[in-house]
Structure 1
Amino acid sequence: MATVGVVRNSSVSWRRCSVCQDSGSFKSPRDFCRHLRDFHCTKEGGSFVCRYGSTGVCPSLPVEGVSDKDYEDHVVRHHVYGNTASRDKGMSSARSEQYDLQIANSSHTQEPSVVQDQHKWTVYQSSINLPALLNDPRLSKRETDFFTKTWGDSFENTLILPSPYLREITQSHFEKYLHKTSTRYKKHQRLKALPEKADNSQISETSKQFSGGHIKQLEKNREELEQVPKIFMLPNFTLDNPDTFMAVFPWTQVEESRDATGRKQSSKLLQEKLSHYLDIVEVQIAKQISVKSDAFFHAMSSHEKLQDYLLETCKAVKQLRDKIHEIDTTLARGPLKVMSLTKTRSNYVNLHNKLKLMSTVHQTQPTIQLLLSTNEFVGALDLISTSQEVLTQELAGVHCFRHLGSQLAEMEKLIEKMLQADFVKYAMSDLNRPVTDSQVLTQEEKLVAILFGMLRFHKFNFIEVYKEEVCATLKSTIKQTVVEAVAVVDDINTEGNVSSLADQMRLLNYPLWMDLLKTIFANLLVILNRAKEFCAVVRDVVGIAAGRTKAPTPISSPTVESSKNLEEASHLHVSVSEEVDVMVSDGEFYKLGSGLKEMLCTVCDHAHDRCVKVLAARAKDGFIEKLNSTEFVGLSREIEQFVQDCGSVCGRRSTSLRGSLQSQANRFVNRFHDERKTKLSLILDNERWKQADVPSEFQQLVDHIRKTGQLSLPEKKIDIDSKPSEVLIIEDQKYVVVGTVLLLLKMVVEYCQLVDDIPSACPDILTRLIDLLKSFNSRTCQLVLGAGALQLVGLRKISTRNLALASRCLQLIVFYIPLVKTHFQAHLSAKQVNMLKHFDQISKDYKDHIEEIDKQLLAILDSMFEVQLSKWEVKPPMPSNCFRSISKQIARLHEAIVDLLPHKQIQDLFKKINKSFKSHLRLQLTRLGVNNNGGPQHGLVTADLAFFSGNYKTLKGLEELAHDFNDVWEPR
């Protein structure tokens, strides 16, 4: 904002700050005002305090501060022109007021307040604006540099790939057209080079052929085109040339206009002139197209016909050349020569084959030695078989080969023994490798060669041999694992009666023994996986040998490979089949398949049996039975995982280890149940049947069940600030309970969680849980309804509040019984589902118990009604003492149970109480002979009933029962 007349005098106050010595001089009053706001002003609450003074306090501004606008006026009046003489000399009073107003408005509206906006970013804090940054001519890639610096390298121009549906046009597509038009173009250039006189004569001669109107039109078009500058018609016209650009867009003429209005007008005129040139060219092009349209379409139609003619001609030429080539090939090339050479070639071939056959048979023994050295047993056997066949058929009677047949038979027997020995050696070396070796099967090529050789001899006993080796390896692996585990433990005392390895293993504590068991399982799985991989290789080999499986790349066809070796070694010309020779019949194929499966199942069962021995050795002296829930669940999970892994190996679950675990689980469940049943009995014997505070862990338990829908214990959270609550809240229902039922609820959840951890023991756990719930129900009935708590804990009497608490506790268990039933149903088999009927029976028993408690509460008041009404006489004063006593007892009962039982149950109970009261009252009125005849006694009874119904209005939730006393009179 431009400031209004300011007297630039050295005596003005805004030139320099009198407090800040290094501030320098200010160029305008606005800079001085900004300096005072930044460095000599503070904001206290909503007021501004001026600190411009030698002691940090302004002498002319109140210490308590003023508003923002008053602060601006104060700065202008007292600090910008504090010298009155200079102010009067520089400007008049009216001009001074206008100046002050402009300074205040400028600082208040346009510039940020340093005090008020000191924590906000404003445009005045920026060092450079965005247009200047984007249009910096010194940056070669300013768009990429700016945006990638702010938004990352991915914010760049993406490369647009060519469309696969559009053909890419190159210069080669126009070569044919340029070649065709080059002649016309040269002719056009020659015509342009003729003298201007010839052009004028040609033009005058041509103009005679047109009418006068047409000539005028041509001249008019020429005149319009002449308006366009010649520079646009040049063949080398390009705006990249600076001279061309300056000629088309004369920027210097625009710059000569100094004022903004002239510059805009010059630019607009230049734009309109270029647009006018463009319109002229477009109009002329349109005219030329309209004139030549007929000739253009005619040329296009002729071109298409010409293309069709050329295509038909090419087809005819191709057919003709194919026929000529076929005749030349079949009829004209030396058929006579072929006929003459066929007989000669046949003779040479027969002679050559016979000589090659003899040479190959002569090299049979060295070739067999070479094949055996490379484990090509099948190749050697095939070579022996082929050689013997050749000797008996094609080379029969040759004297030099008379002993070769017996030698080959001896070599065949030797190969059979070698195969047996090599297989045993391979099985031992492969199975006894360290368990840390990650490779499942080693030297697979050697195994395949041995298997093909044994199948070639029809020796199928290798499955039994391998099974024995696996069983021996499993036993030695377990023993070695136990020895290593015991050896690394330093605190085991091996002296005394520790005589065997099992005794030493019993000295391990639970964590060390679990680590040992996990290691045993892992090592056994390594051996079993090796056996599984062996069976897979054998199955593939048998399938290939039986012709049922195509030979994969690692296991090539043995017949083809041996024949190739035979051909390479001795160039024997025999017919070699490209398919595998069938060495195994269908019956043998199925027998070997079932044998492999049975072998896997047998070794898995053997592994389970060895693990059962380990488990039984450690289970002595009740070690496993004494484990806590967490430890036994961990053991169960490890065994279940091992059983599943073994099942994935052999395809069948073994039962020995699961049976041993089941027996241990039954013992564990018995101990688990006995501990909790004993604990519950002890707690019930000490229960005083008073309201107990609910710890936060029980509220978290019910909340966890409600959120997840699963009966499981939540994760323990250490919350120091959590305090016990008075009631247990479940789905907006308040349960006032005793401490015993809270522990029972936790026990029920533990039983459900135990089922999740040990699913195999589900029927046994269900039976134990039913027994626990029945025990709680029966003991509660004995202690409360049977008044057993009077002797055990020394209660004076069983009050109505004790009865209501017991009823509410039973209702809490009834609420969770359906959830428990659903939880167990998911773990029971189809044959065991009928066990769920026990939950229905226990739920019915609990509900019957609740009804008995309600009947007991009703019986208490019923006996009181009978006693009180038997003494009642209809005489003043009213209300009578009898009705007063009855109302007091009803109020006490309501007060005792109103915060314990739900509202619906309280209403039902008091309806029954009213019914009992009216029954006793009706009998007493009949006995006294009082009728509803409007007499004095009827009035007295009505007064007592009004008092009695009035007391119901004071009881919360029972107001509607106050009008239910009209049927106490016997009908007339």
Structure 2
Amino acid sequence: MTAPLELIKFRVSWKSCNVCRDTITFKSPREFCQHLRDFHCSKEGGSYMCHYGMNGVCPSLPLDGVNDKDYDDHVARDHVFGGDAGKCDASRKASCNTTLPSSVECILLSSSEPSIVQDQFKWTVYKASVNLAAVLNDPRLAKREVDFFTKTWGNDFEKTSILPSAYLPEITIEHFQKYIKKTTLRHKKHLRNQQRLCEPHKPNLDAFPSHIKQIEDNKAELSQVPKLFLLPNFSLENPDTFNAVFPWTQVEESRTPYHSESHPSSKLLQERLSHYLDIVEVQIAKQISMKSEAFFHAMTSHDELQDQLLHTCQAIKKLRDKVQTLDARLAVGPLKIMNRTRTRSNCIHLHNKLKLMSTIHQTQPTIQLLLSNNDFVGALDLISTSQEILSQELAGLHSFRHLGSQLAELEKLIEKMLQADYSKYVTSELNRPFTDLEVLMQEEKLVSIMFGLLRQDKLNFVDVYREEAFTALKAIIKQTVIEAVSEADDISTEGNVGSLADQMRLLSYGQWMDLLRRIFLNVMILLRRAQAFHGIVSDVIGIAAGRTKVPTPVSSPTHEGQNPLEEPKHLSTSVSDDVDVVITNADFVQLSSALKEMLCSICDNAHDRIVKVVVARAKDGFLERLSSSEFVTLCREVEGFVADCEGVCGRRSMSLRGSLQNQANKFVARFHEERKQKLSLILDNERWKQADVPSEFQDLVYHISQSDILSLPERRADSDRRPAEYIVVDGEQFAVVGTVLLLLKMVVEYCQCLNDIPTAAPDLLTRLIDLLKTFNSRTCQLVLGAGALQLVGLKKITTRTLALASRALQLVVHFMPRVQDHFQIMLPQRNQNMMKHLGQIVKDYNNHIEEISNKLVSIMDNMMEPLLSKYEVKAPVPSVCFRSICKQIAKLHEALIDVLPSNQVKDIFLRIDCSFKAILARKLSTLGVSNDGGPQHGLVTSDLVFYAGSYRALKGVEELSDSVNDVWLPR
């Protein structure tokens, strides 16, 4: 027998997998079993191991594995229908009068014991009542390291107490009293029923209530009826069912005369069926009798139910009528309005769609029109918009299936047109005739092309312009040279002259300077055009990047004379303020840097090209043979061009300046050699006599004093004035020789050359120092060293010669501070230490002047000492010795007073006087004469009075006559 149906509970656990995270729903237990075999099972040898559980471990299957059949039984028993929670313990299986197969599909109701398999997915560490230290606590506390956990996690790790939550009340047994009272009776009844179900196979019917006994009796009677008649799909129309109920073979055999003994079989069949019918009718009658009270109650209430049903039908009919009225009045009309509104909306949408289709159909003619007006940006925007509409609004239209590809090809064509038009524009712009004074032509076209290139992300236009500019520069310079050579009348381009450079070298200085000026002019015109292009493109990329809304006049060199408050016309006519941003900030920064570098590279290339012209002309030493004025003119022209280029690109190009510097160094070397040779030649022929000062030198000194600038003055109309005896410098007269005047003019020429060629300042200073040293050393050799005696045939070096040499040196020293200031301003910072050499020059000159003064004193000493050595204290008075000495002093005073200033003359005679007194004192001491008032003292006093009287007659040294008594040595 099977177990009672009330004791069976179907626990369907195969609907989903509890381990896999994805939500998979299985349609049958077979699919679930196949899923477990594929994903939660492993095979080692011939054994199967189940991994359906937490951490891949099945709690109910041995770890050593089972065979194939046992694995299927395990899955069906433990996992398909409820898992471990559905297994009955041994006692319950013993008490149940049933035998469970290996592949069961229904299991008994589980007891109240917890299931480890099911509960393991719900428990977390937060449900633990103690911490990890308490779980791992060793009872042998004395032998365990006390700070095993606290040394890492703190002293409160093991002793942490769980505080009660402020949000959860404390649950006690009183909270369950009401529920316990309510379920006690039901629980007791449940326990009794459980006890009865678990009794032996044949239950004691006496212990059941009467209705249960009745049910058992009915079941016993109904068991006589075959199960076939109780099937839900019982139908006599089925041939198999009909043959099973009526065995026609027995009926047919009963009709034959040979089987008359089988006749009772049909009657028996009829009686058996009648018996089944009686059993059923009796059971129905019993059921009716058992439910008679309810049956008669239903019959009595049938009429009332009919009346209520009638009233209900009438109410339903009235409700339907009202609903129909409401539908006709409130629903049908608004629905029609909504339908017509929706129809109108659909028509409008269809009309708009048709208009859009018509507009898209006119895309290609519109693009052609825009391209004819050079509106490349508008054409590209129209193509982009059309492509977007085709992909979104008109997607799937068969009539426009080829338009997208046609627009894509048209966009590529526009890109090629942009590049071709840009190259053509740049070439025509850079190669325009220079007679056209307009800086930039067709600005609107350039702006349109630039926006188109930026729109297509073609950012190589800077390189294209740079290369075209390089080519144009080369062609311009070559064409200018050809024109200059062809216009020159005094040279012949025929014969052995081959290259253009050779023909250019035949030009004179004036012709070559005119050529260089024309080259500078033409190159500057092209650079101005490049600067204008830079300004326009800078405005365009600024607008394209969203940096500027309206281009500023400052950034556009083509409108330098325009009112700053007026908007530039070249962009306002073709670009609106709401231009979309087509390049990123990074592209803007890159393009701005590239444009600036392009302008600088064009200027550098122009300098390099002009350097080739200069170097080609200087090949035969032409520039080195130029005069100072001619070379200065060249330098000024080059400096002007360099300054103009610096104004264009904002950066100084050094190639042309460097080439000019090399030529300037050669020029300075030749400039210095000419003047040094001239100075040496003049010194070799100098007779060291006082020279008259021509008016041009006085004008030079006056110009320097008035302007405080070391430069040559303009030639005056009355330059043929008579020469002066002295040259007046800042109110002081200088008696000089002719050489020092020429030296002074040379120094001024060096300073003026420095103004004209500032880059040659260090070289010029070095050369000037060499020139000044040459003059000082040669003067010393000729005067102090008496070299002039053999060189120019002087009879002797007189004191006047020495005085003139000293005065010449003093004139040079007088102008040295101005020279130092002039060079200090012009020298670069790294060469400022060269100024110490000028200070050394001043020191050497002063030492030389001091040596000349010492020489003058020593001459008088050499003269007085022999005379005084023969001095005798006797009559007559004054003595011959003193007369000779006073005569020599008068001659020296006469030689010096017109050359040297009075203070220097006084200083020299003071030293001579001291020397005289010292020599005389030694002589008197030798003679034994003292200031004792004797006759000899009187004679010496008379001679000294004569000596002092001679000083009273000399201009500027009168004071020396008051100290004649210093000759007497103290006793």
TM range (shorter): 0.5 to 0.7
Find the counterpart in structure 1 of residue 723 from structure 2: 724
1:180-221 Cα distance to aligned partner (Å, 9 max, x none): xxxxxxxxxxxxxxxxxxxxxxxxxxxxxxxxxxxxxxxxxx
Counterparts of 2:822 and 2:743, CA distance in 1: 17
Q: 1:556 to 1:771 in 2, by over 3 A?
A: closer
Find the counterpart in structure 2 of residue 488 from structure 1: 487
CA displacement at 1:355 relative to structure 2: 3.9
1:470-493 Cα distance to aligned partner (Å, 9 max, x none): 001000001110111111112212
Q: 1:342 to 1:539 in 2, by over 3 A?
A: farther
Aligned residues of 1:559 and 1:580 also touching (Cα < 8 A): no
1:394-414 Cα distance to aligned partner (Å, 9 max, x none): 222333222211111111111
Q: 1:674 to 1:439 in 2, by over 3 A?
A: same
* Structure 2 counterpart of 1:810, one-letter code: L
Find the counterpart in structure 2 of residue 263 from structure 1: none
Aligned residues of 2:611 and 2:656 also touching (Cα < 8 A): yes
1:496-551 Cα distance to aligned partner (Å, 9 max, x none): 32001111111100000000000001101111111111111111111111111114
Find the counterpart in structure 2 of residue 933 from structure 1: 932
Find the counterpart in structure 2 of residue 944 from structure 1: 943
Matching of residue 744 in structure 1 with residue 747 in structure 2: no
Aligned residues of 1:557 and 1:579 also touching (Cα < 8 A): no
Aligned residues of 1:625 and 1:667 also touching (Cα < 8 A): yes
1:625-640 alignment runs, 5 A limit: 625-640=624-639
Aligned residues of 1:711 and 1:753 also touching (Cα < 8 A): yes
Find the counterpart in structure 1 of residue 672 from structure 2: 673
Aligned residues of 1:696 and 1:725 also touching (Cα < 8 A): yes
* Structure 2 counterpart of 1:536, one-letter code: G
CA displacement at 1:636 relative to structure 2: 0.5
Find the counterpart in structure 2 of residue 589 from structure 1: 588
1:741-820 alignment runs, 5 A limit: 741-820=740-819
Matching of residue 386 in structure 1 with residue 385 in structure 2: yes
CA displacement at 1:721 relative to structure 2: 5.4
Aligned residues of 2:444 and 2:574 also touching (Cα < 8 A): no
CA displacement at 1:368 relative to structure 2: 0.5
Counterparts of 1:536 and 1:684, CA distance in 2: 62
- Give the 3-state SS of the residue equivalent to 2:624 in structure 1: coil
* Structure 1 counterpart of 2:924, one-letter code: L
CA RMSD of aligned residues (A): 2.0
CA displacement at 1:830 relative to structure 2: 1.7
Find the counterpart in structure 1 of residue 326 from structure 2: none
CA displacement at 1:348 relative to structure 2: 8.3
Find the counterpart in structure 2 of residue 895 from structure 1: 894
Counterparts of 2:341 and 2:788, CA distance in 1: 123
Matching of residue 518 in structure 1 with residue 517 in structure 2: yes
Counterparts of 2:574 and 2:797, CA distance in 1: 97
Find the counterpart in structure 1 of residue 363 from structure 2: 364
Aligned residues of 2:466 and 2:602 also touching (Cα < 8 A): yes
- Normalization by structure 1: what TM-score? 0.62
* Structure 2 counterpart of 1:888, one-letter code: K
Find the counterpart in structure 2 of residue 735 from structure 1: 734
Higher-RCO chain (CA-CA 8 Å, sequence separation at least 6): 1
* Structure 1 counterpart of 2:437, one-letter code: S
1:144-543 alignment runs, 5 A limit: 353-543=352-542
CA displacement at 1:347 relative to structure 2: 8.0
Aligned residues of 2:703 and 2:713 also touching (Cα < 8 A): yes
Counterparts of 1:849 and 1:343, CA distance in 2: 119
| Structure 2: runs of 5 or more not aligned | 1-339, 552-566
Counterparts of 2:682 and 2:891, CA distance in 1: 29
* Structure 2 counterpart of 1:468, one-letter code: E
CA displacement at 1:784 relative to structure 2: 0.3
1:688-699 alignment runs, 5 A limit: 688-699=687-698
Counterparts of 1:513 and 1:556, CA distance in 2: 43
Counterparts of 1:892 and 1:363, CA distance in 2: 119
- Give the 3-state SS of the residue equivalent to 2:728 in structure 1: strand
Find the counterpart in structure 1 of residue 210 from structure 2: none
CA displacement at 1:611 relative to structure 2: 0.5
Counterparts of 1:557 and 1:628, CA distance in 2: 55
Aligned residues of 1:382 and 1:559 also touching (Cα < 8 A): no
Counterparts of 2:356 and 2:944, CA distance in 1: 133
CA displacement at 1:354 relative to structure 2: 3.4
Aligned residues of 2:695 and 2:719 also touching (Cα < 8 A): no
- The structure with the largest alpha-carbon Rg is 2
CA displacement at 1:352 relative to structure 2: 5.4
CA displacement at 1:359 relative to structure 2: 2.2
CA displacement at 1:494 relative to structure 2: 2.1
| Structure 1: runs of 5 or more not aligned | 1-340, 562-577
- Give the 3-state SS of the residue equivalent to 1:625 in structure 2: helix
Q: 1:644 to 1:689 in 2, by over 3 A?
A: same
* Percent identical: 66
Aligned residues of 1:558 and 1:580 also touching (Cα < 8 A): no
1:586-619 Cα distance to aligned partner (Å, 9 max, x none): 1111111111111111111111111011001100
Q: 1:384 to 1:961 in 2, by over 3 A?
A: same
- Normalization by structure 2: what TM-score? 0.62
Q: How many residues align?
A: 617
Q: 1:705 to 1:345 in 2, by over 3 A?
A: farther
Counterparts of 1:879 and 1:375, CA distance in 2: 118
Find the counterpart in structure 1 of residue 911 from structure 2: 912
- Give the 3-state SS of the residue equivalent to 1:729 in structure 2: strand
Counterparts of 1:917 and 1:502, CA distance in 2: 77
Aligned residues of 1:378 and 1:558 also touching (Cα < 8 A): no
1:442-467 Cα distance to aligned partner (Å, 9 max, x none): 11111111111111111111111111
Q: 1:789 to 1:717 in 2, by over 3 A?
A: same
Find the counterpart in structure 2 of residue 871 from structure 1: 870
* Structure 1 counterpart of 2:537, one-letter code: V
Q: 1:450 to 1:808 in 2, by over 3 A?
A: same
Aligned residues of 1:557 and 1:580 also touching (Cα < 8 A): no
Q: 1:782 to 1:347 in 2, by over 3 A?
A: same
Q: 1:406 to 1:920 in 2, by over 3 A?
A: same
Find the counterpart in structure 2 of residue 332 from structure 1: none
1:765-811 Cα distance to aligned partner (Å, 9 max, x none): 00000000000000000000000000011111000010000000000
- Give the 3-state SS of the residue equivalent to 1:966 in structure 2: helix
Find the counterpart in structure 1 of residue 606 from structure 2: 607
CA displacement at 1:353 relative to structure 2: 3.8
Q: Which portions of structure 1, spanning 4 or more consecutive aligned residues, are displaced by more than 6 angstroms? A: 341-349, 557-561
Find the counterpart in structure 2 of residue 547 from structure 1: 546
* Structure 2 counterpart of 1:745, one-letter code: L
Q: 1:756 to 1:557 in 2, by over 3 A?
A: closer
Q: 1:936 to 1:440 in 2, by over 3 A?
A: same
- Give the 3-state SS of the residue equivalent to 1:967 in structure 2: helix
CA displacement at 1:373 relative to structure 2: 0.5
Aligned residues of 1:559 and 1:581 also touching (Cα < 8 A): no
Aligned residues of 2:687 and 2:794 also touching (Cα < 8 A): yes
Counterparts of 2:708 and 2:822, CA distance in 1: 10
Counterparts of 2:864 and 2:574, CA distance in 1: 109
Q: 1:346 to 1:752 in 2, by over 3 A?
A: farther
Counterparts of 2:404 and 2:829, CA distance in 1: 70
Counterparts of 2:865 and 2:792, CA distance in 1: 32
Aligned residues of 1:693 and 1:725 also touching (Cα < 8 A): yes
CA displacement at 1:349 relative to structure 2: 6.6
Counterparts of 2:855 and 2:346, CA distance in 1: 124
Aligned residues of 2:444 and 2:571 also touching (Cα < 8 A): no
Q: 1:714 to 1:344 in 2, by over 3 A?
A: farther
Find the counterpart in structure 1 of residue 705 from structure 2: 706
Matching of residue 617 in structure 1 with residue 616 in structure 2: yes
Counterparts of 1:351 and 1:886, CA distance in 2: 138
* Structure 2 counterpart of 1:859, one-letter code: S
Counterparts of 1:926 and 1:440, CA distance in 2: 100
CA displacement at 1:653 relative to structure 2: 1.0
